[in-house]
A and B are shown apart, each in its own frame.
Chain A
Amino acid sequence: MSAELVTKSLRDNRGSTVGWGIALVASVLLQLAVYPAVRDAAGDFEKLLDSYPEAFKALFNVEQSLASGVGYLQGEVFGFLAPLVLLGVAIGQAARATAGEEKAHTMDLLLANPISRTRLVLDKGVAVLGSLTAVTVAFGVVLLVGDSVAGLGVPWPHLVFAVLASAVVALPFGALALLLGALTGRPGLAVAVPVGLGLLTYLLDALSPLAGGLRSWRVLSPFHHAAVNDALTGDPNWLGLAGLVVLTACLVAGAAAAFERRDIRS
């Protein structure tokens, strides 16, 4: 590993990391700040929610009562906000990792240095992982503090499990962006495909309880294997998470292999 290359990539992505991090932390703080009011008005909310179609509730991850801390976090934080930001960090930065340099025409000079292309891809991947870790840690810390301040009553290990699962589900999407960027040198494409697949597999997982036909397809969704809701109730799907990590490793290996063979865009 080249510390210099990882450091430079982290620095290049600093804006994106800080921006996404602030967006996530601020949104979580806002959600936690209004939690006491929601809990107190829970009765009215429940009535309102009962009138919503099941599909709508499934879409926004409203499984349990919003009055409970777990239900609130599932619906308001882990349902949509966390995956949006964590996938955003992973996909956005991984797509630019090699393809961004190619598009900017800085890759020729970078490759003139005595580093192998495989190492370059891996180092860039490590940098993305570093950014994702930073945002995840900030997210986790805010949740842990907010949990005790707002009185959500969710045990801290469960919060850690859920935050971890939310980060792990972003990994294969980031790795896919890295692979597509390495394969094509086109950052736009490397963003668009994982974002599209992210939406599709999110919906697949969210809506499958409602539509029997979708249920058998559910195994295709990384969100299903990450099982963030279960993690939040203290029952993380370790095997599923390990599977996502393995999938990520395969995609990154594919990215390195693809980049080794390619002509750099001129």
Chain B
Amino acid sequence: MNVISTQRLCKSYGRTEALRDLDLEVRPGEVYGLLGPNGAGKTTTLRLLVDVIRPTRGGIALFGSPMSPRLRGRIGYLPGDLVLYDRLTGAEYLGFCGALRDRPDPGEATRLAKRLDLDLGRRTDELSKGNRQKLGIVQAFAHRPDLAILDEPTSGLDPLAQREFHTYLREYVDDGGTVLFSSHVLSEVEHVADRVGILLDGRLVVEDAVASLKANAVRELTFAFAEEVAAATFSGVPGVREAVQVSGTEVRCRVSGAVGELVRTAARFPLVNVTSHEPDLEDIFVHYTEGLSDVR
């Protein structure tokens, strides 16, 4: 049974379709990264899942059931637009949530706050943006939820805290937790997520394991030869999308999928050097964005 499962989930605001036919499956024990530019529907998706907004059409099941107050007890949520009660200290805030959740033990919260170097004795309105974000993260995990739904969790965190949080996330998943988080920071998703879904204009345009996304991504190979070789030589090679003459003896090719055929072709010439540029998610992201605008 999947932890999160949506069927043709749609959300419209008037005539604007914020989310269209989303079929999202998040499996137990995985970190799923929802990626997309601003306004793509990431926050809408997460708010639908935690039931603060209601779908226009389609269904949501969490742990196989529709959302209920009891089920909320198993979920930790960090909203993208995080606002905390400003008259409370961090500890008081966590105490309030703990009482509502019937989980008064502050152990986990205290441990995580310490790891993130967050002072729980200070009032939330005295905290910096980064520290407020830390408190938001702490409250999401304080009750040891089975599922964490996090909207841009590292927004505002310094690199050190980001790293600590990523480590914590791994430990959390290793302990049996499941994570769905959104981000527009590609390196973060690449670093933390097991699977990635890319949302564009309210549609899930691609969904795959990070590794296979990268394998299928367009990568760049630059060949340096001992003599002049025409770029046109590579134009017809399977997988090659573009071949550019950098100089007389240098050709840069953009290739998707396996590079074997291209390398074999290049090897027929006196090859001096090959440099390969690993695709990161940015390339993949741009690739799909371009694809989408081609369709329009």
Contacts and interface: CB of A to CB of B under 8 A. Distances in A.
Contacts of B79: 108-109, 112
B63 to A, nearest CB: 14
Contacts of A264: 47, 52-53
A116 to B, nearest CB: 5
B1 interface: no
Nearest to A119: B69
A107 B52 contact: yes
Interface string B22-66: 000000000000000000000100010011111000000000000
A5 B81 contact: no
Nearest to B92: A8
Interface in A104-150: 104-109, 111-116, 119
Interface residues of B, number: 30
A112 B72 contact: yes
A8 B96 contact: yes
A106 B100 contact: no
A264 B76 CA distance: 18
Contact of B100 (A12, A105, A113, A261): A113
A114 B73 contact: yes
- Which of A104, A112, A113 counts the most B-chain CB atoms under 10 A from its CB? A112
Contacts of B122: none
Given A4-B100, A8-B96, A106-B83, A112 B53 contact: no
A64 interface: no
A263 B13 CA distance: 10
Contacts, number: 66
Contacts of B76: 112
B101 interface: yes
A216 interface: no
A197 to B, nearest CB: 29
A113 B51 contact: no
B259 interface: no
Contact of B69 (A12, A109, A114): A114
B100 A2 contact: yes
B101 A114 contact: yes
Nearest to B44: A266
Contacts of A113: 72, 97, 100-101
Nearest to A5: B100
A266 B82 CA distance: 11
A116 B43 CA distance: 22
Contacts of A114: 69-73, 100-102
Contacts of A105: 81, 83
Given A105-B83, A106-B83, A107-B52, A112 B75 contact: yes
> Which 4 residue pairs of A and B lie closest in terms of their CB atoms, listed nearest first?
A114-B73, A4-B99, A112-B77, A263-B53
21 contacts: A2-B99, A4-B99, A4-B100, A8-B96, A105-B81, A105-B83, A107-B52, A108-B47, A108-B50, A109-B82, A109-B139, A112-B77, A112-B79, A113-B72, A114-B72, A114-B102, A261-B54, A263-B52, A264-B52, A266-B43, A266-B81
Interface of B: 43, 47, 50-54, 69-73, 75-77, 79, 81-85, 87, 96-97, 99-102, 136, 139
